[in-house]
Every structure is written in structure tokens, then in C-alpha cells.
Structure 1
Amino acid sequence: MQRRPALAACAALGFLPHGWGARDAIAHWAAQFQPSSLSAQAQREELAWFRAAAAPFRGQSIKVVSEIIDTHEYEAKVLAPAFSEITGIQVQHELIPEGEVVRRIREQMLRGTPHYDAYVNDSDLIGTHWRYDATLVLSDWMRGEGRAQTLPTLDLKDFIGLAFTTAPNGDLYQLPDQQFANLYWFRHDWFSRPDLQRRFQTRYGYALGVPLNWSAYEDIAEFFSHEVQRLDGRRIYGHMDYGKRDPSLGWRFTDAWLSMAGQGSPGYPNGLPVDEWGLRMEGCRPVGASVARGGGTNSPAARYALERYLDWLRRFAPPGAAELDFNQAGPVPGQGAIAQQIFWYTAFTAAMSKPGLPVNHADGRPKWRVAPSPHGAYWQSGMQRGYQDVGAWTLLKSTPLARRRMAWLYAQFCVCKAVSLKKSLTGLTFVRESDIRSEAMTRLAPRLGGLVEFYRSPSRVYWTPTGPNVPDYPELAELWWQHVGMASEGRVGAQQALDDLAEAMDASLARLARSQNGPCAPRLRERLSEAQWQTLPGAARPRLANEKPPGRTIAYERLLRMWQFGSDAK
């Protein structure tokens, strides 16, 4: 036992002390990966399987990549060295901005450029992987060339996001590694203050609570930013967002902002015939994004969504928010000056839960909570409720066979039951039902502001990623941040930015129609007159006479009870 501290130090450097054997390494790491959903014996057996399966590759190395979030920091700093010590395969796990991950996987897919042996790549690319013959079909791989390297106890049915990494034809393309939702975040302690409740009721005529629509969100933002102004001795703000013109600005919108406003059609998981990007589908074919081609990217609901984003950023967010990107803006609510955020990525929960932050009590309990995001004036029942991100292990056919096999071993190691619960408790991006339902998660739940309750709720399945409609995510996503960025910088108005975006998307669909083959390749339809496109099913709805109906809120405690039964607050 005296050697454990020394071993831990060596583990951080990625090597074993001289004379330390495989059995010692397995025993050491089994102890480090506690708690586990497995028994101690089953956990050691699973780790020993990795050692045996990796025997033909001992002494070799692989290089993998993922975006920069706490979960992947844990993988790079802890799981990669652990895997290397147990298996003898050296792993270089790089962390780079998500925009770069998307760019490099696309380059390798299209040109065969050997950047990495595996990618943790969002399931938002499922439509891309499905249409290009460049990504390994994991369901075939596990039965074929990768069978000997497929973990017998992988238990695919335990993964909560597998439907999002499976193509419409039933082929599994990606193995979920981390998963998080976009939810509403707010200061429960401030919302619970009787003096603020009275002031809000007097000013707006309804109760201060979790907003159910964008009208209430705007009222609450105005209340804290302009009427309350100062709490706990500091200037406060009723809204937080980011607006820097870079790839992360595109995610802000493609991650369901337009559908939360009410753009698109009802339908699960992505709206049919018009989805949350504004793409019109005919069967499995994308046929247009512009309103003139039956799409919705530049519809009145989309214009309303962009205008609200710009208006709230200008009026209610802290100074400088418009110059921040996704990663820079993420920690800001935790600094204690933000009352609410309509669209908060729960990937930041781990950082938000750290002791000592002004948004947490001294004993670690949060002063904040999470809830479903409110919907805009155009939203109707049956439309997409919110976005859920599924980062998943993706292997490409251009990677040499031996390196694919080693990368597959490492990918499974990062999500196997022997390590998954410990990783879930560290990064708080859950992928396994067994982890969510564990006793350890029950004990932690009071410190996570409703996140565990959300993931245990039947409602969680209605938060969905970008689906298979998008035929080339890297190409089309690139257009969003460029054109929305023109509006966020004040160079063009909201409608002009969306008109330009829709035209650019149509042009991309036309190009992809020439380069992609198969029954689900894009096929751009002709432009129609207004009288013609208005007759199409799912055509863009006309502008509402009143885009700010009365605000509606709900008490958080009531909402929590409804969550547990999967019912809606309307």
C-alpha cells in the first residue's frame, strides 16, 4: 500500500514503476475508478479483457482527438494514461476547439488525410456519415473485422443516446462518449426572494418563476437588468449569451434556437417536412432551405428568433458579451452576476458545481437550477423542445486496419462500465442509463441543480440533436456562423442575414446534389411564387400580429414534479 502514492504520480506521467506488472496496474486503476456500477470482480475482469485484447498491439501508439470540455480533459489526463498502462498501447489524446474537430474530420473523410485514428465527433454529423462512404459502420465492424476487439460487456442497450448515432437505415455509425442538453439556467435563490417576487408581481402582473415562453423570459431579463440592477453588492444582469463571429456562433443557432422560437414543423425528432435548420425534406432528400423553395431558414419565425437574440444580447447581457465565444461565455454565469440564461449547455455543469463559486453555498449546494428552456411565440405543441448534444466515437475507413482496432479498444475503454460511472461523476455528461440510476448519482443529485432529475425524466428523449436531414454538416454549419455573424456585428439586419444564409444553403444543396449519389442525396427544387409555396405542407407561417403574447411562468417545484412524470407545462 505504501507504493500507491508513487504509482499515482507515475500514472500522471503515463508509465508504470519499474517492475510493476499488468495485474498491479489493473488493481490500481480499478481502485481509482470508484465508484463503479460493476462489482469489484467484474470491474477487474473488464479491465483485464482490455489487456488481453490489446496483446497483438503492445508497444504501438494511436492518436485521437476531441473538443475541449471537462469530460474530455478527464479522458486525456486520466483515461489515456490508464489505458496505456493496462494495455501497452500509447494514446495521444488531443483536445482542440470543436470547429477544428469538424474541419479535420471532414478533411480526412473527403481527402483521406490521416489526421487522427479516431474522433469524438458530434452525432450532428449523422446525416454526413450516412451519405458519404467514408465512415465505418460500427454495427458491421463489431460483427466483422473488429469482432475480436469488441468488448463482450459493452452493453449497447445501456447507452441513452444510441438512437441519435444510428442512421435511418438502422446502421450504427458512432458510439456515444458524452452527452449534454441545452436547458434554461437560473438563480433559484434570487427567484425565491419574497421582496423580488413582490416587485416582479407588481411590475408585470404575474409570478416570478421559470419562464414558459419568451415573453416571460424577456420580462425577467428586463427586471433584473434594468429594475433590480444590483444584488449582493454587485451589478447584475438578466441575460447571458455570446456573439463572437466564429464557429461556435453557428452552434448557437443550429442547436435548435430557431425551432425553440417556433420555426419548422411538428415531428420527432427533427420536424417534418421542415426541420429546425429550415431544410425542407421530401422523403429523405433535402430539397431547399429558403422559403421560396418550401423551407424555413428565412421565415418570419426565423427572423423573430434572430431579432430576439440580437435585442436581448444588446439590452440585457453584460458588456462585452457580444465579443465572447462559446468557451469564453460558458463560465460567466458561475461568476455570480447573471440571473438567468435561456440556452445553457449542461456541459458546463461540472465547472458550475465547483466549491467556492458565488453561485454555490458554502456546503456545495447550488444556488442555481436548470429547467426546460421557454419557447417563442411561433412554437406549437409537437415541435422540437430543445437540443441535446451527443459527442461520439467515430472511426473512418481511411484509417489503417490495425490502428482502427487499437482506436476502437480505446474508445470502448472510455465508455466501458468499469470506468463510466467515475467519468460521469467527473464530467457530468452522462451516456449510460446504469450511471444515471446509480446510488452515487442519487447522492450527488442535490448538488447538480435538477440535472439528474432531468436525465431520469421520461422527457429527456425530446431534447434531440441535429438529425440525418443535414447532408453535409461541416459545409452547411460553416454558413451559419458567417451569416449570423454579419448580423451580430451589425453589418446587416436580421432578415437580410437570413435571406443570405438561405440562399447560401440552397447553393450548397445544389452543389451537393451534383456530388452525392443515392436515394437520399439532396435535390434542390425550383423556386416558387409566394402563392405556390404557401400551399405546401409545412410552409412558413406568416408573421404574427403580436410576437409578444402575455408572459407565463411556473413554480420550479411544480415543474420538477411534472418532469418526473414526463408531462408538459403549457
Structure 2
Amino acid sequence: MNRLFKTSTALALALSVTGGVPAFADMDAARAFLDAHIGDMSALSRAEQEAELQWFIDAAAPFRGMTINVVSETITTHEWEANVLAPAFSEITGINFTHTLIGEGDVVERLQTQMQTGENVFDLYINDADLIGTHWRYQQARNLTDWMEGDGASVTNPGLDLDDFIGLASATGPDGKLYQLPVQQFANLYWFRHDWFTDPAIMAAFEAEYGYPLGVPVNWSAYEDIAAFFTGREIDGQTVYGHMDYGRRDPSLGWRFTDAWLSMAGASDLGLPNGVPVDEWGLRVNENFQTVGSCMERGGATNSPAAVYSIEKYVDWLQNYAPPEANGMNFSESGPVPAQGAIAQQIFWYTAFTADMVAPDLPVMNDDGTPKWRMAPSPHGTYWQDGMKVGYQDVGSATILESTPVDRAQAAWLYAQFIASKTVDVAKSHYGLTFIRDSTINHDSFTDRAPALGGLVEFYRSPERELWTDTGFNVPDYPRLAQLWWQNIGNASSGAATAQEAMDALCAEQEAVMERLQRAGVQGEFGPLLNEPQDASYWLAQPGAPWPKLDDEKGAPQTIAYEELIRRWTE
């Protein structure tokens, strides 16, 4: 696979010495790129690849010499885009694409700044489709459905093939319009040491202690038992832990919860892609998708018994079953820890880490190149019911704001399509393992590589992937509301507040933001319209979320054999 990702010195030499503007734009650069980085790792034949790149060359002609600024968060996939695809596309088209990598929170901050000021900070943002509710309400992101038929028609690739994308629903508003184009996608699943879970001695010891088979936990009750069983146990000459997480007061702590943790516990309503009318943030909307409440007093569920239970379990497991240093880590620092070999399982694990978990010298890899670990669906909490959202799926998507001048938007749209094109997507996906196209998932090269990826390919080839979704329409202003989560839950993780106190404060602060949006009227007829508060008992007595407190929040533990899960996925 290394030949796919080596740096092409021939392409590098094509850059001019003046400002990094490409010296030429023709098929010589395109062919050099295909030879160096693509080869047969494409859903297209070589002739089809060249035809697609020729189309890009022709469409880019009016914009040659321009410098287009792109920004994304720093993950493996975007690193390949920035370090390989952006320089190559610059050489191929004659447009200088500068792809900047920064933290996810910084991306949202830059986006928010441009939305508030109208100044063109970046020509293209690659940001989560979590913002679909924001973009649809504010109408400051270009509606790509209309764009592709209007100002963007001349620069829309006839081979784009939107039907081949697997995440368009997450980037589509209630109006049926596409606001963002997916360029990378990954799910939040369960990670575990398959070698330990299938070790006869360990299996026998677990069943003797707990009275049921060791396997993939179906619910949080079993996850907790498994975490307790492994924590402090000596395996392979080391002390292991039954859980991994992170707890530092940091913006990434907010994602840990806004990425569907409450719905995994069972706090939301039934319904896909997100709970209706109460979603995984505990936000209730009316029939017009106007947000009407977050606290139970207004029909929300952010501070409901199920939501509080989800925070209590998070804090309990972090304190009792994770390495002591985990409480002081953030998302980026905690991510590599399971690969170091002392973690038995992780309930909240992103498949974006897969690419970094399969290096041959890691203690979690076998000598034959297969992993000792596997991925499976995350277990759900006691409040969870069939028909609820199963988990979270990140859909990183290209977004062009209305404040970007038309010619710059047209050039940026070319880059967005290129990094998601059939020509490059198979090779890009082998590097970052964040699938966006059916044609890529079903490529023969991934059939060959599947045994080395711990269930990733099987998951994405399964219809079950549709049960993992991005943040939905209920969130009226993602940048303003998301920042409230890490601050309040940080109080719970640090012990400064109880779970109930933290969630009471969070829902009140969310409603304060929505009250300001309502008064300002900046989202028009689709902005918040908060319910009048009344006693929470009224809403707890109504069908659906918020759900009343259960007498038994532990519940009966349940596990399933990993091989049975794979059978379901493959069938």
C-alpha cells in the first residue's frame, strides 16, 4: 500500500518559485499524480480517471492563478488531503489550494466568525454535518442543490454521482436541500480486545464470577461488569484496565456527549435519523422544527432521569475502571491509549482511530498483520428502546458560505468535489479509513484488506450503518450550544457538581441562548419558540421523552458473541 501514499517529487518540482502558484495545468501533472498515488486503487478505470481529471482541468481554466483557502480539523484523512491532494490538485488545475489543518473547535470558531461578520475567512470549510440545523436555519451556507443548478452548474462534475454517497441524509435539511458535501465519515463504535475475550481461561473466570458468558456487551450493565472484571487484572505481564475515556475540561469533552451519548443511554425519543420530537441533546422541537425546550419543564430531556443516568455512568466508569491519568486527558491524548495494549474495552471509540491502530509494531497487532482487537456496536443504556438512535456517525462535509464571492466559491467547489471524487476516494479511504462512497466500500481492495481492519469493512457494508447518524435538525445553533456542554459536564467529571446539577445548569443555559435567538428573530420562522415552563411531572407523564426514572437502572446484563454480530452484518 505504501506506493499509494509516497510523495511525488515530480509533482513537487512543478510548483513555480513565485508564491507557490502552479507552473502548469495539464494532463502531464494529472498522469504523474495518478501514477504516484492512485494506480488501480480507484472505483474508475485509468481511462475514466484521466477523463475525470481532464474535466477538472477544463472547468478550472477561468480560475487559474487564484489562491483558494480551505480549512479542516486535523485527522488522518484530512492530513492526506492537505499534504497530497491539495498540492496535486493545484498542479493539475493551476489554482493554488491551501488546505489548513487546525483543531475541530477552531474550525467551528472560524466558521462562526465568518457567519457573524460576513467577511470571507475561508473559501471552503470542511466541518461536521452536525451543523445542518444551523445552516438550514440561518441560510448562510450555500444550498448545494440549488447551487449545482445555478452559479455552480459550470463547475459541477458530471461524474459526481450523489447517489453513490452514503451520508447525504446527514447533510440535507428539512427542506430536502443538500447544504454540505460529505468528504469523510466515521462511526462511534465499541472497541475490545478480541484475543482476551476469546481466551478460554479468561472466559471461564468471567462466567464463574458473573454467571453469564463473556462477549460483546449489548447493554451498559454488561459493559460495567466487564469493566470491573478486567480492571486490575494481570494479563501478558501487565496490569490492565476495563475501560478508557477522558475527562479534561476541554472543548473535546463536549463532543464526548453531544455525539449521541444521551441517546445511547436512552434519553431521546424513538425515531431515525434522530429522535422525534426529542433528540439526543434532549432538545424538543415542534412540527415546524422550532426548538421549544431543553429542560424537562419545557418538554426537553437534557436534565431528565435518563440523561442524568448517562452522566453518572460516565463519571463512575472514568473514576473506577480507566487509568488514573485518563481524567486529565482530552480527546486527542486519550485516543492512542488503547493501542498501547493495557485496555480491555472502550465503549465510546471512533472508527477514525482505525488507521492509527493497525501499525504492525503495536502491541495490539498480531505478527500476521491482523488486529488483536475488534469493533462492534456500542452497548446501550437501560433507558434505551428499539427504534431509538443506536449511535453517532461523524459526517465531515465541505461547506461553502454565502459570504464567499461567487468565483472563489466556484473554485472551492472544484476542490471539494475532487477530494470526494471516484478517482481518488478508494486510495484516500485506504489511508484514512473514513468511507463516504458505496463504490469505495465495495471495492475489491477492501475485501482483501477487511481481515486486517477488525470489522470496519463489514460494518460499513451492512445496512446497520444507517442506524448511526449525525446530530440532527433540532439543534438551532450548534456553535453557540455545543460550547456549553464541555463546561458543564466538566464540572461533573471534576466533582465540582453532581450529574443532576450539571445537567440542570446545561439545559438552563441552552434555553437562555435559545431565548436570545428567539428575541433576535435571526432564524426567521424556523428559530426557537420556547414552551412556557410548567412542572416537570406534566411532561414525565406524557408519552415519549423525557422518560420517568426507572426503579432499576442497572438492568440484566446481556452479551453476544462477536462472531454472531459479524454473521448478522454480512448477511
Report TM bin, short chain. Answer: over 0.9
User: Aligned-pair distance for 1:236?
Assistant: 1.0
The aligned residue for residue 171 of structure 2 is 165
Q: 1:179·1:430 contact (CA, 8 Å) conserved in 2? A: yes
Are the aligned partners of 1:476 and 1:505 in contact in 2 as well (CA < 8 Å)? yes
Residue aligned with 1:55, SS: helix
Partner in structure 2 of residue 544 of structure 1: 550
Cα gap change, 1:205/1:13 in structure 2, threshold over 3 Å: closer, same or farther?
farther
Stretch of structure 1 that moved more, 530-539 or 456-465: 530-539
Report what 1:142 is aligned to: 148
Q: 1:256 to 1:402 in 2, by over 3 A?
A: same
2:74 to 68, 77, 93: 68
Which residue of the partner structure matches residue 45 of structure 1? Answer: 51
SS at match of 1:134: coil
Matched, 1:234 2:244: no
1:501 maps to 506
Partner of 1:331: 336
> Counterpart in 2 of 1:319?
324
- Is contact 1:67–1:101 with CA below 8 Å preserved after alignment? yes
State which drifts further: 511-520 or 76-85: 511-520
User: Identity over aligned residues, as a percent?
Assistant: 57
CA distance in 2, matches of 1:324, 1:487: 15
Q: Distance in 1 between matches of 2:242 and 2:10?
A: 47
Shift of 1:233: 1.5
Q: C-alpha distance in 2, partners of 1:497/1:563?
A: 38
- Shift of the 59–266 alpha-carbon distance from structure 1 to 2, 3 Å rule, reads same
Partner of 1:568: none
> Could you say which residue in structure 1 is the equivalent of 2:447?
442
Judged with a 3 Å threshold, the aligned counterparts in structure 2 of structure 1 residues 230 and 536 are, in CA distance, closer, same or farther, namely: same
What is the Cα deviation at residue 358 of structure 1?
A: 0.7
Identify which range, 464-473 or 26-35, moves more after superposition. Answer: 26-35
1:68 CA drift (Å): 0.8
Q: Report the counterpart of residue 560 of structure 1 in structure 2.
A: 566
Q: Which residue of 1 aligns with 2:8?
A: 8
2:73 maps to amino acid: E
**d(CA) in 2 for partners of 1:21, 1:549:** 64
2:424 is aligned with 1:404: no
1-structure distance, mates of 2:219, 2:66: 55
User: Match for residue 132 of structure 1?
Assistant: 138
Q: 2:533 matched to 1:527?
A: yes
CA gap of 1:463–1:14, structure 2 versus 1, over 3 A, is farther
Structure 2 SS opposite 1:374: coil
Match of 2:365 in 1: 360
Query: Which string of whole-angstrom CA distances, capped at 9 and with x for unpartnered residues, describes residues 351-393 of structure 1?
Result: 1112211111122111110000001111111111011000000
C-alpha separation in 1, matches of 2:508 and 2:163: 41
Provide closer, same or farther for how the CA distance between residues 464 and 21 of structure 1 changes in structure 2, counting only shifts above 3 A. Answer: closer
The answer to whether the 8 A contact 2:25-2:93 is kept is: no
| Aligned position for 1:180 | 186
Residue 531 (structure 1) shift: 3.9
* Structure 1 residues 5 and 555: alpha-carbon distance in aligned structure 2, compared to 1, 3 A threshold: closer
SS of the residue aligned with 2:242?
A: coil
Q: Is the 2:11–2:32 contact (alpha carbons within 8 Å) kept by the matching residues of 1?
A: no
* Structure 1 residues 222 and 56, CA gap change in structure 2 (3 angstroms): same
Residue 387, structure 1, aligned to residue 424, structure 2 = no
Please name the residue that 2:268 is paired with: 264
Amino acid paired to 2:241: Y
Q: CA deviation at 1:520?
A: 2.1
Counterpart for residue 306 of structure 1: 311
Amino acid corresponding to residue 296 of structure 1 in structure 2: A
Structure 1 residue 533, shift from structure 2 partner: 2.5
Report deviation, 1:234.
Answer: 1.5
Q: Confirm whether residue 156 of structure 1 aligns to residue 157 of structure 2.
A: no
Q: Which of structure 1's runs of 4+ aligned residues deviate more than 6 A?
A: 4-7, 16-21
Q: Write the letter of the residue equivalent to 1:94.
A: T
**CA–CA separation in structure 1 for the residues paired with 2:234 and 2:102:** 38
Q: Closer, same or farther in 2 for the Cα pair 1:312/1:55, shift >3 Å? A: same
Identify which of 492, 513, 516 aligns with 1:511. Answer: 516
Q: Contact 2:25–2:91 (CA<8 Å) still a contact in 1?
A: no
The amino acid of 1:545's aligned partner reads D
- Alignment-mate amino acid for residue 449 of structure 2: L
Deviation per CA, 1:203-242, whole angstroms, max 9, x where unpaired?
Answer: 000000000010110011111103xx22112221110001
CA-CA distance at 1:327 after TM superposition: 1.1
Q: 1:190 aligns with which of 196, 214, 232?
A: 196
Q: 2:279 is matched with which residue?
A: 275
Corresponding residue for residue 112 of structure 1: 118
Per-residue Cα deviation, 1:492-521 (whole angstroms, up to 9, x for no partner):
111100000011111111111122343321
Deviation at 1:7, TM superposition (A): 8.6
The 5-angstrom pairing of residues 279-298 of structure 1 reads 279-283=283-287, 284-298=289-303
Say whether the 8 Å CA contact 1:370–1:450 is kept in structure 2. Answer: yes
- Paired residue type of 1:8: S
Work out whether residues 12 and 78 of structure 1, in 8 Å CA contact, stay in contact via their aligned partners in 2: no
Name stretches of at least 5 consecutive residues in structure 1 with no aligned partner.
566-570
The answer on whether the counterparts of 1:291 and 1:539 sit within 8 Å (CA) in structure 2 is no
Alignment-mate amino acid for residue 232 of structure 1: D
- 1:233 to 1:199, Cα distance in 2 relative to 1, 3 A: same
Unpaired segments ≥5 residues, structure 2: none
Please show how residues 197-236 of structure 1 align to structure 2 within 5 Å: 197-226=203-232, 229-236=233-240
Select which of 65, 77, 81 maps to 2:87: 81
Q: 1:16 touches 1:85 (CA, 8 Å); kept in 2?
A: no
Residues 7, 16 of structure 1: 8 Å contact kept = no
Q: Is the 8 A contact 2:264 2:390 kept in 1?
A: yes
Secondary structure of the residue aligned to 1:54 is helix
Residue type of the partner of 2:9?
A
> Secondary structure, in 3 states, of the residue corresponding to 2:249?
coil
After superposition, give the CA deviation of every residue in 1:85-105 in whole Å (9 maximum; x if it has no partner): 100111110111101111110
3-state secondary structure, aligned to 2:213: coil
The 3 A distance-change label for structure 1 pair 230 and 47 is same
Q: Is the 8 A contact 1:14 1:81 kept in 2?
A: no
Report the equivalent of 2:419. 414
Cα distance, 1:534 vs. partner? 3.0
Q: Distance in 2 between matches of 1:6 and 1:43?
A: 19
1: CA distance, partners of 2:42 / 2:523: 46
Q: What RMSD over aligned residues (CA atoms) do the two structures have, in Å?
A: 1.8
> In the aligned structure 2, how far is the partner of 1:473 from the partner of 1:143?
28
Q: Partners in 2 of 1:21 and 1:436 — Cα distance?
A: 31
**Residues in 1 aligned to 2:263 and 2:537: alpha-carbon distance in whole angstroms:** 24
Using a 3 Å threshold, how does the CA distance of structure 1 residues 471 and 19 change in structure 2: closer, same or farther? Answer: closer
User: Is residue 290–residue 502 contact of structure 1 (8 Å, CA) maintained in 2?
Assistant: yes
1:263 partner amino acid: A
Given that 2:11 and 2:33 are in contact with CA atoms closer than 8 Å, whether structure 1 keeps it comes out as no
Mapped partners of 1:21, 1:396: distance in 2: 27
1:13–1:116 CA distance, 2 compared to 1 (3 A): farther
2:231 counterpart SS class: helix
Is the 1:185–1:344 Cα contact (8 Å) retained in structure 2?
A: yes
Residues 284-335 of structure 1, C-alpha deviations (whole Å, 9 max, x = no match):
1110000111110001101100000000000000121011111111111111
Inter-CA distance 76–358: structure 2 relative to 1 (3 Å threshold): same
Amino acid at match of 1:278: G
What is the TM-score normalised by the length of structure 2? Answer: 0.96
Structure 2 residue matching 1:389: 3-state secondary structure: strand
Report the residue type matching 1:542 in the other structure: P
Q: In the superposition, relative to structure 1, how do residues 326 and 12 fare at CA in structure 2: closer, same or farther (>3 Å)?
A: farther
Alpha-carbon distance between aligned partners in 1 of 2:214 and 2:145, rounded to the nearest angstrom = 49
The amino acid across from 2:26 in the alignment is A
